Structure 1
């Protein structure tokens, strides 16, 4: 891995207005694993569905952060669940795995993936926050870098509050606003697909 290839794990990809693919329009993607040789995986964190987690994963419903619904994580593997969580205590609970390759400076140190096959009664109470996603976003090696160069994504720093946002509908604008400057201006653009 070259020195210029910084890992995007733990960062946000925020769709620029140029990105018109309906799968990703105005999406905020949290990068779970960015391995330049293998490709990259992330989940869209601002697409809540209407489906309560308890309807899909009965035992987990009571442990999820508000809104307690399945989030549409992306177009790949929509039939399978992927979960992110932050332990409530310092110790790493069984079934929780920290993200790999996260930069030391990252603000998402306590965030990791959850093995949903772990009995919830063993893990649920150990989690301070939990979000379950149906599907994920995937890029083959080099693909994401090309999209970023083409101006499809802003790469921005993430916080756990972004991933577990209780008002995901406003997240795209909120993340851009806090950047200041030109990006903050974009956040005020009306979301009107007919303007394309």
Structure 2
């Protein structure tokens, strides 16, 4: 099953770490965790805090221990196809989380959401539209669903990717139907 995943982090620095993770399965089932930093996770950006709105104090009070989050992720997500809008960043924080939780850092792998959007649009539209038309269609759908004010919270961002995937599939099927009706 497809899963759209997102992290929020302490900063965009080299020693940044995850502060929140969420995922949404293709059936809409979702889960989110605030992550309690380990004692050796000290990198912190006030700019990042202003963006996601999560303070270190809140993470220490309400966050789930790293090992518990890592274990939950592995148990829940292993064997599923995981996608993120920014897999290089999200993959970095996933590796940091898994390692800190005592798990292999590559136990879970992330693909790029845009790639699965394109793949699914091609499955629906191939034979009716050219590859270029399909790529332009997906690009346009992504751009048209870009929020004016990004949430910068893990569940909202993962939900956005899931919503895009659903919208692309629906619009692709409608485009195929419309083109079929126009030519018939």
TM-score by length of 1: 0.26
Select the structure that is richer in helix.
2
TM-score by length of 2: 0.27
Larger Rg: 2
Select the structure that is richer in strand.
1
